[in-house]
Amino acid sequence: MEELVIVGSSKVKAFISDLSRDHYANAFFKGMRYGEMANSLAESFNNWVGVFRDLPVLPLIEGIRQKLMVLNSQRRFEAEKWTTVLCPEMETRLCENAEAGRTWAVRRSNCTVFEVFADYSVIVDLEQRTCSCRLWQIDGFPCTHAVAAILAKRDSVYDYVECYYKTDFFREAYESPIFPIPDIGKGLGSNGSAAGVVLPPITKRPAGRPPTKRIKVFGEFKRPLKCSRCSVAGHNRKTCKAII
């Protein structure tokens, strides 16, 4: 955070001060992020849409539908090959958490509360599904301390994992396919019209070239130019006149 303020000076400081901390800091977030925290969704969408973003509205929507149809189908067939309770990536992560806490000392307080001694001691409550390190609450996935406590109690670790990480839930999400849509131009009469077909209004093309620049994210700003020679903002090394 301090580096952002130094690079962006007063503009970044003013922008961050207007934001609620739970929007950019896990420590203040009260819900679950399920391992995801992104601040560039608009840029990712622009890149994913690709050439379709320069098309008119209807071809743009049709292009997005086609990409979603293919993506949905690929993930559905991919999930059919999985044989694990959790999605492969999360299954690997669970095994890594179990291996990391294998040598830790675990002390029981009552039926559901444990104290786990790693590099430092943490409190794990299996009934509330909480850990004092807060990773379990944020991700909805048992952290290394929680896995150590669950194994010490001899429970199944899978019972403490949120359903969103499980293979069955993934398959259910992509179970319904997106069906193709026939070309709207098919079935028209010789005069270019047909019953029930609404044609676009006759319009005049506006002057100038259509805009091609992407829509910037709210609050996005251009990083100020900084000289690599004198480390002062406002110019580059080629035009630097500072005496070194």
Rounded distance between C-alpha atoms, residue 80 and residue 84, angstroms: 11
> Residue 35: pLDDT above 80?
no
Please state whether 156 falls in left (phi above 0), alpha (psi between -120 and 50) or beta.
beta
pLDDT for position 168:
95
Rounded distance between C-alpha atoms, residue 69 and residue 180, angstroms: 8
Domain boundaries, the chain: 1-30, 33-179
Question: pLDDT tens, 122-181?
Answer: 999 999 999 999 889 888 899 999 999 999 999 999 999 999 999 999 999 999 999 988
Q: Mean pLDDT: which of 40-44, 61-65, 183-187 is highest?
A: 61-65
Q: Which two tokens stand for residue 236?
A: 């580059």
Mention every residue, 6+ apart, whose C-beta is less than 8 A from residue 231.
none
DSSP, collapsed to helix, strand or coil, labels residue 139 as: helix
> Residue 195: pLDDT above 80?
no
Question: pLDDT tens, 83-130?
Answer: 999 999 999 999 999 999 888 999 999 999 999 998 889 999 999 999
Residue that has been written with the tokens 């110019």 in this structure: 235
**131 within 8 A of 124, measured Cβ to Cβ:** yes
Question: pLDDT tens, 46-63?
Answer: 888 888 888 888 888 988
Rounded distance between C-alpha atoms, residue 213 and residue 238, angstroms: 29
Per the DSSP assignment, residues forming a β-bridge with 117 are: 105, 121
The rounded mean pLDDT for the chain is: 84
Residue that has been written with the tokens 């790693």 in this structure: 118
